[in-house]
Structure formats: structure tokens, C-alpha cells
Amino acid sequence: MFHRIVAVVAALLVSAPALAQQSTLYEGGKVFTARDDRPFVEAFVVRNGRIAATGSTGDLRLLFPHARRVDLKGMTVVPTLSDSHAHVAQLTDERFIVGLHPSTWAPDGGPTVQQWVTWISERAAQVPDGTPIVGYYGRQLYEDLNAMGVTARDLLDGITTRHPVVLLEWSGHASASNSAALEAADIRDYQPDPFGGWSGRDDTGRLTGVLQEYALLPLVRYLSRMVPDAHYVSQYGGWVAGGESVGVGETHDYVFVDEDERFAPVIQQLPRPDAIVPHCIITRSGKECAPGPDGIIRRKVFADGTQVACSAYVSAPYLRPEWCPTGFDVNAGYGIKNLTDAQMDWAIDDTLQRGGMLSVHAIGDAGIEHILSRLEARPGVNWKGRISIEHFNVTGENHVKRAKRLKVAISGMGTHQFLIPSMMHEQHPGHLHTHALKLRSLLTPELDDDGVTVLEPLTLALGSDAFGPHAPSPWLDAMFLVTAPFNPAEALTMEQVVRAYTRGTAEARLRADVGVLAAGKRANFAVLSQDVFTVTPDKLPQTGSVLTVIDGAVRWNTDVLDLSAP
């Protein structure tokens, strides 16, 4: 009891100058702070948009006797979650879309060629000439085209030449188009491949209509520029509001549908612009990304692609080449190495020289090896807060230890726990599965024979990797993260999941003022509709927020709690 009195008196002395200010005491809850010393407390105080103190209800009532009180009714509170990796801007106007949404069939093969013939021909008969026709496809399209012995361009030209047809591979790394779409996007036969992009070509060098990686950027820009800025303002606003309804406070946005400059004014028109943290994708050689609104440069490059179009860069040939697009000779069946060593080094050097951070998309083990080896070529550099590897799916035997040694961050995705495994089994030999989809290993320290820690755990951030138009729920991802269906031994605890979605993402993305409920931090928190730390995994997707507060101000409220006290 004596020690408690001393602690209260000490806190009073520290806080005395501010005690007269208006404060709100949120009390009687289960409050996850994401701190190491006191991960759970009962109560916290908000003053001037910041956390003033955390602790027990009794102690904080003594410290702040005149504070307005809000009874949390035993409910669970967390710092607002941060989506570490999303693509908010929708790719095209939804009026142009035909076919089934990938959420109904991915990661399976997707629609057949015959289905595309039906959907596209029906739409072409209904809309004026020149109207784009857009859809989402999977590897079934490649399989059918290869069996038929035709190119995507010839097939789609046979359906319509009067409408630009753009089929987008569902993971976002490839496209299949007709001649009208290529012409509309100013993509010409026999022109060289762009930086980080690859074009399928037939034996004569003519484009097959399938484009991979940065080669498809002109197509998505062509589509996005038919979407008015006002529509994007509305769509971004809906994303933010949807996130607040499930406890998400900010989204890290990797825009690739157009140049970064287009979306800066879009974001500034939002009621809360800081809800979207922009990350600049280096889409051309030597592109120097500008600082974001907070003065920090956040840039991204792609080491490889994904398994859907056989572009994840791996150390063994793909097992089912008939599921891969033809006309590409990049790395001869091992996927795509997007950047040369010199190009990757340029992005790393720019990060060291101008500051900020670099995100590197790497799914295949060879893609992961590429970025790790380029970092290791600079011995003695501490990469903490500078480098984040996105996805980190098909890891090799020593990749986790090497990443820990380098102190890089990892940005993982719960949805990859069910999207990636089937594609790995179908396309990669068994030895590539052994160390894949690590989760718990990332957060486990490496010990020597005497039990002494020799390598600290990695910083783990979590994100959705979702595309617009709607904000996803992190609690669906949480279900996959705590079950880890590919390898249950790698499952995270719920506390680890929430910590990664809050503090982990804040650390990995250089967001020093969010992610933790501690004195001096921004008062960004969510009161959840259920206790995510105790419910069974199958119930996690039902989680919402009953109250979301940003900088001390209510942003989402279902009126479950009484906020009317003076």
C-alpha cells in the first residue's frame, strides 16, 4: 500500500501543472496499451487530444478528481489499428466491370475463357463504342489460352475491337487486354519494356496482350483517369469511415493506379487527411519520392510479383508452366526478378542518403534473398526503421535469422495465410513450403546454448493488402493469424496480433505518436464490441467498434457508452 501511495504522489507532482485542464477519465475497462511494462490497465485519461495517464480506476480518480468520467462497462479498448499496407484507390469505375468479383473465387483459377466470351460480348452489345470493359481474372485464363494456342490479345480482339477490354489479374500484378485497350493506353508493339515491367510477346515480337508488373501501369492509369477526383474523394472518405467503424485509425496507402501527385489533393479534401498515410512507389528509374505530409519519405519497390501469374521469384522452376502466361523469357520459369542489383541498390542508397523508409515487396524465396543480400552488402548498417519487407511469404531456411540480424521490419497479411498456401502447393516443390509463411518465428528471439538472446525479435506490422473500393476488416485477418491454417505452430496470440496492428505498424512505418496508449501519445483508441482476447477465432470477424476516438474526438459512436457526463 505504501508503494502505491508513493507512486500516486509522484504522478501528482509530475502532472500537477495540467490537472486544472479539462480531462476525460475512461474507467472500468480492459485497456490494452501495447506497452511492454503494463500491457493491460483499467483506465486512462485523455486531455487536449493526448493520453495524459494510464492505470487503475482508483489511482486515476485520485489523480484527476475533476475529470469527466466515462464508464467503459468492462469493455475492451485498444489503440486504433493501423493498416500497414493497402491500395485504397479503386482501379476503375465500377460501371465498367463485368464478371465475378475475386472474393467469390480467389485463390482458385477463376473464370474460364468461355465465361469471358459471354460476359464481354453481352456488355459490348449494350454499351457505346469506346466504353471500357473491365474484369478480374485468375490463372484459369492462362490455362485456357495455352490449351487453345491463342494469345489473350487475339482472343479478346475476336470478341470486340470497338471497346477497350482490360482484364486485371486479381493480385494486381498482371493484365490481359485487347488491341483497343493497348492503343488507348498508348502501349505499342515492339517498344522496349519499361523499368520493372514485362510484356508478353509472340515469336514475331508482337504483344500478346498480357503485361506484368510495371508494364501494366499505363493501362490502370488510363482506367483511373476516367474516375473523377470527386469520386475518389468520396471513395477515400468511405474507406476511412469504414475503417473507423471497426477500430482502424489510419491506412498506409500504396497508390499505383496513377501518379502520386494526383492523390495528394484528394487526400487533403478528406475530413481527416491524416487517416491516409501515402507511400510512393518508385515506378521509374531514378524516381525520387517526395516527403509525405509529415515530412517523412516512404517509398516502395517490387523485388518480384505473385504466384498467380508465375511472377513470384523463386529458386525452383514452377511446377505447372501451363498455368503461366506465355511470351515471357524473364528468369526462365523461376518467376520474375523485377529489379537488377543496381536498381535495388539505388533505392537502398536513396533511403540512406535522404532518410525515411523503403518497403520492398518480396513473396518468393529468391525475391526475399535479393533484398536481404543487397542489405548485407552494406555491413554495419542498422536497418531498423529504414527497411520493411512486405509479405515475406516463401522464406528460405535462414531468411528469418538474417532478417533479425539486419533488424528489418516485416509487414504481413492475414489473408495471405489462406491465399498463398494452395498456390505454393500447386506451383512450388515441397522444399519451398518448409519454411514458408512464418509468423510466430518472427517474434521469437534467437537464443544461444546458454539461453542468452543473440537476436532480438523482428518488428512485425500487419496490413490488409486490400484494394478499393471498401475498407476491409482487420478482424477477419486476425482470425487467420491466430489459427495459421498453413502451419498452426506459427500462429500468433491475439495479443501479438493487436500489438502488431498497433505498435508494430507504428514502428515499422515511422509513426512515433500513435500505436500505444501511453502518456504523451495521441488519444487514438477504439472500444470494441467484444473482447477479442477471449473470443474464439471464428467469432473475430464479427468484431466492430462501439466507439472510435481520434485525437480525443469521437469519430464513430454506436451510443453503447454514455458520453453525456459533464
Per residue in 77-101, pLDDT tens? 999 999 999 999 998 999 999 999 9
- Rounded Cα distance between 511 and 81, Å, is 12
Task: For Cα atoms 328, 279, 512, give the angle at the middle one, nearest 5 degrees.
Answer: 140
Q: Is the dihedral of CA 350, 351, 352, 353 positive or negative?
A: positive
Q: How far apart are CA 202 and CA 331, in angstroms?
A: 17
154-203 per-position pLDDT tens digit:
999 999 999 999 999 999 999 999 999 999 999 999 999 999 999 999 99
Burial group, residue 139, by CB count within 10 angstroms (0-12, 13-18, 19+): buried
Q: Cell 494452395, residue? A: 422
Give percent helix, percent strand, percent coil of the chain, each to the nearest 5: 35, 20, 45
**Which cell numbers hold the place of 87?**
491500395
Write down the H helix ranges in 164-274: 179-184, 217-224, 229-244, 260-268
DSSP state of 467: B
Average pLDDT, the chain: 94
Kindly tell me if the per-residue pLDDT of 20 is higher than 90.
Answer: no
How many Å apart are CA 406 and CA 123, to the nearest integer?
Answer: 52
Comparing 47 with 6, the larger pLDDT belongs to 47
Task: Summarize pLDDT for 43-66 with one digit per residue, the tens.
Answer: 999 999 999 999 999 999 999 999
pLDDT of residue 13: 40
User: What is the tens place of the pLDDT at every residue in 420-444?
Assistant: 999 999 999 999 999 999 999 999 9
Distance CA 144, CA 111 (A): 10
Inform me whether the pLDDT recorded for 524 exceeds 90.
Answer: yes
101-145 pLDDT per residue, tens: 999 999 999 999 999 999 999 999 999 999 999 999 999 999 999
pLDDT at residue 256, as a whole number: 84
Q: Which of 413, 368, 404, 420 is nearest to 389 (CA)?
A: 368
| Per-residue pLDDT at 12 | 44
pLDDT of residue 7 exceeding 80, the answer is no
Confidence band (pLDDT; 50, 70, 90) for 400?
A: very high
- Report the alpha-carbon distance of residue 344 to residue 300 in Å, rounded: 11
How many helices (DSSP H) and strands (DSSP E) are in the chain?
Answer: 16, 25
- Residue reference for cell 493506353: 185
Q: Which three cell numbers stand for residue 563?
A: 458520453
- Burial label, 448 (beta-carbon count in 10 A; 0-12, 13-18, 19+): exposed
Distance in angstroms (rounded) separating the CA atoms of residues 82 and 464: 10
3-class SS string, 132-180: CEEEEECHHHHHHHHHHCCCHHHHHHHHCCCCCEEEEECCCCEEEECHH
pLDDT at 1 over 50: no
Q: Which residues is 554 bridged to in the sheet? A: 549
Q: Classify burial at 216, counting beta carbons within 10 Å of its beta carbon; exposed 0-12, middle 13-18, buried 19 or more.
A: buried
Calpha distance 171→247 (Å, rounded): 26
Asked if pLDDT for residue 460 goes beyond 80, the answer is yes
Residue 15 clears pLDDT 50, i.e. is over it = no
Is 86 strand, coil or helix? strand
Residue 388 bridge partners (DSSP): 359, 409
Beginning with the edge strand found earlier in the chain, give each strand of the sheet holding 207-213 in spatial order. Answer: 133-137, 165-169, 174-177, 207-213, 197-201
Query: Would you say residue 211 has pLDDT above 70?
Result: yes
Which has more pLDDT, 325 or 257? 325
Question: Rounded CA gap, 27 and 561, in Å?
Answer: 12
Residues 6+ apart with CB under 8 A from 475: 246, 532, 540, 541, 542, 543
Give one DSSP letter per residue of 393-406, joined into a string: -S--TTHHHHHHHH
Give 333's pLDDT tier (boundaries 50, 70, 90): confident
Q: What is the pLDDT of residue 21?
A: 59
| pLDDT tens profile 215-247 | 999 999 999 999 999 999 999 999 999 999 999
Tally Cβ neighbours within 10 Å of residue 230.
Answer: 10
